[in-house]
Every structure is written in structure tokens, then in C-alpha cells.
Amino acid sequence: MSPGRWGRRLGWWGVLLWLSIGRSGSAPPTPQPKCADFQNASLLRGTNLKVQFLLFTSANPSCGKLLTENSDLQNSGFNVTLGTKLIIHGFRALGTKPSWIDQVIGALLRAADVNVIAVDWVYGSTAAYFSAVDNVIKLGLDISSFLKKLLMLGVSESSVHIIGVSLGAHVGGMVGNFYQGRLGRITGLDPAGPEYTRASPEERLDPGDALFVEAIHTDTDNLGIRIPVGHVDYFVNGGQDQPGCPAFIYAGYSYLICDHMRAVHLYISALENSCPLTAFPCASYKSFLAGECVDCSNPFLLSCPRIGLLEQGGIKIKPPPKEVRVYLLTTSQAPYCVHHSLVEFLLQEPRNKETNIEVTFLSSNVTTSTKITVTIPKERVHGKGVIAHISPPCQINQVKLKFRSSTRVWRKDRSSVVGTFCIASLPVSNNDHMVCLPEPVTLQAGVATLHDMNISCLV
């Protein structure tokens, strides 16, 4: 389900060419074709899907060319030698054009020399969600028939990349299933959950639908699917409750859609920005935050997946393993990317109770600080966790450490601990990457202490 911002309609229906011809005998201006745009549908959905295929190229990135049944594809601007990316939107509650579609088209054309085809099925996706679900198979057949025309021109199956948003991700899976998994790539941006969480792999997106299938999950507790559906499944911030999104229902529509649409905005940001959105395979989000998965060795042989257009997401092994959950943290706004670091605290002596060390990173060029709590279990000496911060580690000037006191209301906790603090940027391949404070630190309960950090920048 991917409703955009209501009330916004970007139209390109009237591109007029004006040329001033001063000399007599000059050739008359060549009329320019009109740009095609998405349709608008009423809430009373018709039985006809009225699917449109709109071609966008780097030569004219903001003007869509309508490809009809009788279109001369060879003279439409479509380049057979380039890769082809199909964008499929999802449910449209009010029958309007997706507010994000122009951004995705532009970002793709700036990031790669490709053909971009936007699939407009607004008529078939409007009003009732369950009616839109009923149209998925028919739409998949229509897109498959259209792809067949491209393949007859010489387009290779492996050069086709489908990007499906919400319900559109499962449409992409249906198309991939019709082509028996031979298409090059499918990217699902928060694939829809309702009606699909318990569906069979043949009815939804799954790893068998293309040579490489990836999904970005941002709303698994509401509108998005909670199960892995690709070779690599990115569970961003655990897959739900994205930073910066409203936490209470009084925010209205934004509360309902913000988490779900974050996958789209993350993908746009990954295409437009150089800072990487890198993720790490792990059994659970809790284990990832606890610092248990920091090197991507299992199962990706140290090649960490990255959101964007890298081949196989940057994974170096072929064929890629299936349904691998990977995790990453982000900020609340574009470009969203952060630096992940492993922090460790090693006590000189074990304690007979749990020990909690609050760790805060401070940087001179960032006004906000980043904080986590490292927990050392009872009778253990080693605690660790993953912290995300905007600044690269070499720009972190200080670390603030605080031994959190036990909850004693009748008297002040005067206990203290002594230990060593270390940090390493993810991915961590071995202990040689750890940078530790030069001397052990003594922390008194409830008292914060500042320590200078000196981490070399990589060149």
C-alpha cells in the first residue's frame, strides 16, 4: 500500500515549444510531442485496469513517453542496449499519482544510464485495497506481455530490474514468477503485508522470482510484510517505528503512512547520496544491537550488503543465499545514513550484579550527541553494543562514560567500577581494528566522565 501525499498532482500535459524565427525563409519549428502523465481515477473503480507504460530517458528525464500497444518502441527513445528499470506503485486510496514517483525516476536516471518505465495502474489500485489485490495477477500478466515486446527487440531478461512499492512489490514478484526467475533483479520497497504475510511464495514476492531479490522493510508492524521475501531483506531500525515518524495517532495520516513510505525515501537517498546505507546479517535486531553481528562473515564472506544499485547489493558470492535478514540503523531525515561502531567495556573484575555503562559520543561539528547503554551481565566482565552516529569515528572528539547507579531511594550509591573502553568501526574483521582509551577508567556510580578520543581517519 503506497498512498502518496493527498491533493498533489504534478502534470506535464502542456509542453509548448516557442521559437522566435527572425529571418524569412527559415524552417518552421518542429512540434514537440506532449508529455504523458499518470491518470487520475475516481473512487468508483472500473473493471478495466487501464494500465499505462510511461518511458523516461536521460535525454528527457521529466517528460514521459506513452508506450501503447502500437508504439514504435525503436523510435520511442527506448535504448535496447541499456538496462531497463520498471517502477510499479501500490495501492492508491484516492486514485492519485504517487507523490514520490518523479523523485524515483529522476534519481534512477541520475544514478545510471538506463531506460526507466513507470507502470501506471492507478485505475486498478484505487478505492478498496482488496479490489487492488484482486488485480495483481491481471496486472502481472499485462506487464509480462509488455516485457515480451521488449525481449523481442533484443532486451535481455537479466537486464530487467523491477522496483515495486508495497503492493507493487508483489506485482513484481508475480511478473518474475511468470518469467521463471530469469529476470535480473527485483527490489521490494516495504512489500505489502495485508493479504500476503501468509500467502504462498507463488502468490507473493519471493527469492525465486529473479536472479537477485531484495526487500527494504520499514513498517512490519502495520502495512508492510514481516517475513523475509528476498535473497536479502533489510530490516531498517528493526523494520518498524522509523526515527522521525509520529509515534501517536493524533498525527493522523502521517502516523499511518510515515513508516511505510520510509522505504521509498531511503531508496531515493541511497541513489542520490554517496554515504552508504550498509547492513549486517544477524539472527535478530536485538542481537545486532548487542554487538553480536559485526563482520558480515556469515553468510556473506565479509561482503556487507548495501542499499542501492550495486550488483547483488554488494554481496560477492553467487548465487546469494536466500532470506537473509540484515539490519541497519538510520537517522530521522535524508540522507539517513550513519556510521555504525562497536563499543566494548571490559571490567577489571566481575561483579555480583548487572553493570550498565552509558556511552555518549561527542563531536565538535555535530550539535547532537549519540548515546547507548552497554550492559555487562552478572559475574561477567565483558559488555558490548552497536552505536550509530552521524560523524565518522575520526571526527568524534570525546566519549562520555557514566556508570549508572542502582536504584536506591534510601541512600546514595557510592560504588565504582574500573575497566577499559574500546571502539571499532563496522564491519569489524578482527581485534586489530579496536581503538581503546590508553588507560583504564574509574567510574563512580551516577557520575559522568569525559575522555578524549583519538581515532585516525582512513585515507
Q: How is 289-338 classified by DSSP, letter by letter? A: HTT---S--TTTTT---BSSSSGGGG--SSSPPSSEEEEE---SSTT---
Q: How far apart are CA 413 and CA 419, in angstroms?
A: 18
Q: How many CB atoms lie within 10 A of CB 15?
A: 12
Q: How is 327-380 classified by DSSP, letter by letter? A: EE---SSTT---EEEEEEEEESS--SS-EEEEEEEEETTEEEEEEEEEEE-TT-
Give ∠ CA 41-45-48 in degrees, rounded to 5.
90
Q: How is 10-28 classified by DSSP, letter by letter? A: -------------STTPPP
Q: Mark whether 260 is an active-site residue.
A: yes
Question: For residue 445, what is its C-alpha cell?
Answer: 556510580
Give the CA distances from residue 15 to residues 62, 75, 280, in Å, rounded to whole numbers and listed in that order: 11, 20, 47
Query: How far is C-alpha 85 from the chain's CA centre?
Result: 17
Q: Which residues pair with 371 in a beta bridge?
A: 360
**DSSP count for the chain of H helices, then E strands:** 6, 19
List 159, 166, 269, 363, catalytic entry: 166
Q: Mark whether 382 is an active-site residue.
A: no
Give the CA distances from residue 332 to residues 109, 137, 197, 221, in Å, rounded to whole numbers and listed in that order: 26, 36, 27, 19
- Any residues with CB less than 8 A from the CB of 310 and at least 6 apart, and which? none
List 260, 339, 340, 389, catalytic entry: 260
- Any residues with CB less than 8 A from the CB of 254 and at least 6 apart, and which? 245, 246
Q: Mark whether 241 is an active-site residue.
A: no
DSSP H or E segment with residue 423: strand 416-425
Q: How far apart are CA 459 and CA 449, in angstroms?
A: 31
List 102, 142, 190, 259, catalytic entry: 190
Q: How far apart are CA 411 and CA 413, in angstroms?
A: 6
- Any residues with CB less than 8 A from the CB of 202 and at least 6 apart, and which? 177
Angle, helices 253-272/101-111, rounded to nearest 10 degrees = 10
Contact 181, 211 (CB under 8 A): yes
Q: How far apart are CA 314 and CA 189, in angstroms?
A: 18
- Residue from 152, 289, 165, 311 nearest 231 by CA: 311
Q: Which residue numbers are catalytic?
A: 166, 190, 260
